[in-house]
Structure 1
Amino acid sequence: MRTLVTLACTECKRRNYTTKKNKQNNPERIEFKKHCKWCKTHTVHKETR
């Protein structure tokens, strides 16, 4: 089952993105390199709980 997760910027700690993930296929926390409009650069965004 796919669940909704929130991605937070590792630099400014703001929660900028939401995405869906399958917890059976990806049990660990996901991280993407995405653009943060507050930092004005591409930063790593990690899954928050």
Structure 2
Amino acid sequence: MAKSKNIRLRVILECTSCARNGANKKSPGISRYITQKNRHNTPGRLELRKFCRYCYKHTIHGEIKK
């Protein structure tokens, strides 16, 4: 089958501070958000400041692979 040519992609954003502290088990989990991005306008990795419910503060959430 042909590859889909949708412009909008579904991406997963993960908290960067929780992912780094995963070995410490300081937080009970890793905060993740699901959003969409436009493939043509943002070809690189997406990073947004979102609220992390495990860190109890706003942190940078970066795009991860599915």
Q: What's the TM-score, normalizing by structure 1?
A: 0.90
Task: Summarize the Cα distance change of 1:23–1:15 in structure 2 as closer, same or farther, 3 Å threshold.
Answer: farther
**Greater radius of gyration (CA):** 2
- Equivalent residue pairs, number: 49
Query: Which of 3, 8, 12 is the aligned partner of 1:2?
Result: 8
Two-structure CA RMSD over aligned residues (Å): 1.0
Is there any run of 5+ residues in structure 2 with no aligned partner, and where? 1-6, 20-29
Paired residue for 1:32?
48
Quote the sequence identity (%).
43
Q: What's the TM-score, normalizing by structure 2?
A: 0.69
Q: Within the alignment, does 1:20 sit opposite 2:36 as a pair?
A: yes
Q: Within the alignment, does 1:11 sit opposite 2:27 as a pair?
A: no
The 3-state SS of whatever aligns with 1:11 is helix
